[in-house]
Structure 1
Amino acid sequence: MTTRVLAGAGLLAAVALALTPTVAASAHDYLVQTSPASGATQTEQLDQVKLTFNDRVLDLGGDGSSAILRVTDASGKHFETGCPTILDTTVSAPTALGAAGAYTVDWQVVSADGHTVSGSYGFTYKPPAGTAAVPGTTAPGCTSSKATPGAAPAPSSTASTAVPTKASSDGNLGLVIGIAIGIVALALIGVVILLLTRRKPPTES
């Protein structure tokens, strides 16, 4: 009986430990901070829009071309003035805003797990009277991007407009499950050690 218990516990522990990295690696990147913040009122001219994620953003071409970061007003004009820059967990793009009003930030990046995630959020621009307004352009400010909006390796994940996004719940859930599996594995190993130490030698007749 003891031998069977030990064998079963060892097998369960091995399976649990093998599954832990798989679960942890399945979570997509998600937004943890944006500048400007979602729903914020910006009163000063911007020089960039910056997104910060929970994990490393992949720079597939080494030049930021695998990411998309666009800033548009209600009419659809673009106010990003260059291509995205990817630096570890952050993605930024140079920006100069136009007239006062509502603006939308649309983004798409390649997550650390190799999947493409995307989303958007809005903010309001209310500069002081007399502030010069940039006219904006009808075409995106970055013309060298190799990424295609909405075209993602399956399966893809689309984030909501809030920060943190819905993907953050999925990522946190994966992390919790991974930790739980690790705890179970350690507990099973503890049971094995306890059974081994409590075994008594056979009584001599």
Structure 2
Amino acid sequence: MNTVAHLRAVAAVLLSVIVALMLSAAPAGAHAALSSSDPAADARLAAAPRVVTLTFNEPVQQQFSTVVVTGPQGRNHVVGDPAVAGREVRATLDALDGNGTYTVAYRVVSADGHPVSGKYDFQLSAPTPTTTSASTPAPETTAPSTSDDASGGVTPWPFVAGAAVLVVLIVAAVWLRGRRGAGADTDDDR
């Protein structure tokens, strides 16, 4: 096989390796996503829930996990910090304001350290007792959006750069081997 054929074969193998590396980098960039909730998004409830449970597709970190449940009167109904156990985040609620729309906003940290946030609504359509105790005021910040932050997660560029360096090294090795082989052929012809 001549040097050009070697280079073509090496280039085909390297292209396959680069594609495989880029495809394998995609799962590393995945982050936790809400897979289910109780109450569910857009649910219509006849009784007020005492707990909101969020279940994610992968474990989330306890640290920095936040859940806010805002009622029609604009106050937060979550009591204390949410409890995190693997993929599940549970927030205990105080007495809800009564009928109306409630917004569940969450912000958790994926196992890979990436913050993920979102929100959804549910409806309460039955009278519930109101609380006379001091309520927790709603946070002054806006509710989290339904998308990840703008960092974009893991980028494939380090893999591409590493693959490019690998390609250069292999092409140089094949070229040098070909030159040595060509030199040996020339010496044999003498």
Q: 2:146 pairs with 152, 156, 159, which one?
A: 159
Distance 1:32 1:20 in 2: 24
Contact residue 33 and residue 53 of structure 1 kept, 8 A: yes
Residue in 2 that maps onto 1:89: 87
Aligned to 1:197: none
The 8 Å contact of residues 80 and 140 in structure 1, kept in 2 or not, is answered as no
Q: TM-score scaled by structure 1?
A: 0.59
Q: Pick from 23, 37, 41: which aligns with 1:38? A: 41
Distance 2:146 2:28 in 1: 18
Partner of 1:49, secondary structure, is: strand
Long gaps (5+) in structure 1: 61-65, 142-147, 151-156, 161-165, 172-205
CA distance in 1, matches of 2:58, 2:98: 34
**Alpha carbons 1:99, 1:134 under 8 Å: kept:** no
Distance 1:139 1:123 in 2: 20
How many angstroms apart in 1 are the aligned matches of 2:44 and 2:11?
Answer: 60
Q: Does 1:105 align with 2:116?
A: no
CA contact (8 A) 2:72 2:97 kept: no
The one-letter amino acid paired with 2:146 is: A
Q: CA deviation at 1:2?
A: 4.6
Aligned length: 145
Q: Which runs of 4+ in 1 moved over 6 A?
A: none
Q: Which moved more, 1:131-140 or 1:98-107?
A: 131-140
Corresponding residue number in structure 1 for 2:114: 115
Aligned-partner Cα distance in 1 for 2:12–2:99? 65
Contact 2:117–2:146 (8 Å) recurs in 1: yes
- In the alignment, is residue 68 of structure 1 matched against residue 66 of structure 2? yes
User: What's the % identity of the aligned pairs?
Assistant: 30
Secondary structure, counterpart of 2:78 in structure 1: coil
AA at the equivalent of 1:38? A
Distance in 2 between the 1:12 and 1:100 partners? 60
Q: 1:7 to 1:149 in 2, by over 3 A?
A: farther
Of the candidates 17, 20, 23, which is equivalent to residue 20 of structure 2?
17
* RMSD (Å), alpha carbons: 3.1
1:41 and 1:92 map into 2 onto residues whose CA distance is: 20
TM-score (norm 2): 0.64
CA contact (8 A) 1:46 1:95 kept: yes
Q: How far is 1:149 from its partner?
A: 6.2
Greater strand share, 1 or 2?
2
**Larger RCO, structures 1/2 (Cα 8 Å, 6+ apart):** 1
Q: How many angstroms apart in 2 are the aligned matches of 1:139 and 1:4? A: 68
- Give the structure 2 partner of residue 133 of structure 1: 130
Return the offset for 1:14: 2.1
Deviation at residue 78 of structure 1 after TM alignment: 1.9
Deviates more, 1:99-108 or 1:7-16: 7-16
Flag the 1:89–1:149 CA change in 2: closer, same or farther, 3 A. Answer: farther
Structure-1 separation of matches of 2:73 and 2:138: 13
Q: Is the 8 A contact 1:30 1:159 kept in 2?
A: no
**1:76/1:138 contact within 8 Å kept:** no
Which one has the largest radius of gyration?
Answer: 2
